[in-house]
Amino acid sequence: MVLPLRALLAGRRRLPRPAAAARAPAAAARLCSGEAEAAGGDGAMLQHLARKLRASGPVTVAEYMREALTNPGQGYYTRRGGVGESGDFITSPEISQVFGELIGIWYISEWMAMGKPNTFQLVELGPGRGTLTEDILRVFKQLASVLSKCDVSVHLVEVSPKLSEIQAVMLTGGKVQPNPEDESAYMKGISKTGIPIFWYRDIQDVPPGYSFYLAHEFFDALPIHKFQRTEKGWREVLVDIDPEVPDQLRFVLSPSRTPATQNFIQPEETRDHVEVCPEAGVIVQRLASRIEKDGGAALVADYGHDGTKTDTFRGFRNHKLHDVLSAPGTADLTADVDFSYLRKMAQGKTATLGPIKQREFLKNMGIDLRLQVLLQNSGDTATREQLLHSYDMLMNPEKMGDCFNFFALLPHHRLVHPDKKDKPESKSPLPPVAGFNELLLK
């Protein structure tokens, strides 16, 4: 039953998407590294932080980041949202619908490889504008004949009221019910394709069950701790108010070790500067436990490294780098994901695959075939140019191709046959995991 995937990849037409497939070239993606530039425009969040710092002293970078991004009143995601051409940064699903389509195919391919369970939840962490889920649901609709006996539901984990509203419009046309009774969800609705969708603030609220998890540019938005090696040993980087300049923030080092320094720096660490995101660790632990218990898989896509990089904390505003300490709450703050840490935090409960580069993952998923077919069938030059431009953004090693990575959590039995003594007849090889290997079309 892999034929429908081929049919989808080689489909003559683009699957209809309400908005244009590729966006303005002016919109910049957040790439892996760069120099921050200063920007002005302080506001309410700065006043709030300055008061707090004056009253109780410096805070960790993690606490600063949490306040700046998700403070319920003034946080960046709470108020501004930021994703998209008109926001502060653009992401792969916003650049091309092909991206989400290939991810939709990945889930179907895994669902088939895992024996087509009769129900699954698609759980997206940090869905932004809802574009990726929208593209995936279009693929599910296109493959309705394959999924006909499967009960699918969508579960979105989103802290931002502003973004959840945008998601509701994108996915349901705005027909949602806030605060549904008897649910841990804060909102629910039905997708334009007829699939129930629920919204939560925390992964813990999502009901248990066989689930496919998705986290695209989510982990990089979670708060990090920063540590610096000094002659006196490891110190934590803190954020403080500058006593010389009113309402200006600055970095300082903790005078002694902090609890985080003791917990998160490994004795064998060789770098001089280290960033750790404990919240990402906790979430990966939860995902791994849930997959171990209830089945499914998780796909994580983000920029990041494998425990090698040092100072990657940076800000984005209006598609430009922005000083992380300037005008908090008005800019996106982000740090590269440490995939070696995520792998460690899965604690062997699941197998892990990757990280592999975005361009390799998408190539394995058949992006070249998809592009060729779309190019052959697009009549006008503008559309062809748009298709080529968005392909280049996603695949070019200098753009998003090399610095974005794919990483997966999968049940052990998906990669290694369970004890063959129990099942001597099951000698057939396990199907390779698409994306990390070539998608099987035959």
Q: Which residue has the tokens 């300037």?
A: 326
- Distance, in Å, from the CA atom of 208 to the CA atom of 123, rounded to the nearest integer, reads 11
- Residue 302 interacts with ligand SAH (CB under 6 A)? no
> Of 59, 198, 65, 75, which is closest to residue 127 (Cα–Cα)?
198
Give the interface size with ligand SAH as a residue count (CB under 6 A). 20
95 with 22: CB under 8 angstroms?
Answer: yes
CB of 215 to ligand SAH, least distance (A): 8
> Of 400, 413, 412, which is closest to residue 217 (Cα–Cα)?
400
CB of 171 to ligand SAH, least distance (A): 13
Retrieve residue 385's tokens: 């140019």
- Residue 128 interacts with ligand SAH (CB under 6 A)? yes
414 with 113: CB under 8 angstroms?
Answer: yes
Binding flags for ligand SAH, 82-121, as an x/- string (CB under 6 A): -x-------x-xx---------------------------
CB of 416 to ligand SAH, least distance (A): 31
Q: Which is nearer to ligand SAH, 160 or 191 (CB)?
A: 160
CB contact set of 326 (below 8 Å; sequence gap of 6+): 38, 39, 40, 41, 42, 249, 315
Q: Between vectors from CA 315 to CA 312 and to CA 319, what angle results, nearest 5°?
A: 120
Conformation bin of residue 387: beta by default, left when phi > 0, alpha when psi is -120 to 50: alpha
Q: Which is nearer to ligand SAH, 92 or 261 (CB)?
A: 92
CB of 21 to ligand SAH, least distance (A): 15
CB of 53 to ligand SAH, least distance (A): 22
Among the residue ranges 11-19, 45-53, 213-221, 370-378, the one whose residues contact ligand SAH (CB under 6 A): 213-221
CB of 283 to ligand SAH, least distance (A): 9
Query: Could you tell me which residues are beta bridge partners of residue 83?
Result: 89
- Residue 70 interacts with ligand SAH (CB under 6 A)? yes
Binding flags for ligand SAH, 18-57, as an x/- string (CB under 6 A): ----------------------------------------
Q: Exposed/middle/buried for 165, CB within 10 Å: 0-12, 13-18, 19+?
A: middle
Q: Which of 134, 158, 275, 336 binds ligand SAH (CB under 6 A)?
A: 158
- Residue 134 interacts with ligand SAH (CB under 6 A)? no
The enclosing H or E element of 227 equals strand 225-230
Q: Which is nearer to ligand SAH, 58 or 127 (CB)?
A: 127
CB of 71 to ligand SAH, least distance (A): 11
For the chain, count helices (H), then strands (E): 17, 18
| Angle, helices 161-172/131-142, rounded to nearest 10 degrees | 20
Q: Which is nearer to ligand SAH, 71 or 326 (CB)?
A: 71
Q: Which is nearer to ligand SAH, 114 or 222 (CB)?
A: 222
Residues in region 216-245 near ligand SAH by CB under 6 A: 216-218, 221-222
- Distance, in Å, from the CA atom of 224 to the CA atom of 379, rounded to the nearest integer, reads 48
- Residue 71 interacts with ligand SAH (CB under 6 A)? no
CB of 222 to ligand SAH, least distance (A): 6
The residues of the shown chain that bind ligand SAH, judged by CB under 6 A, are 70, 77, 83, 91, 93-94, 126-128, 132, 157-160, 163, 216-218, 221-222
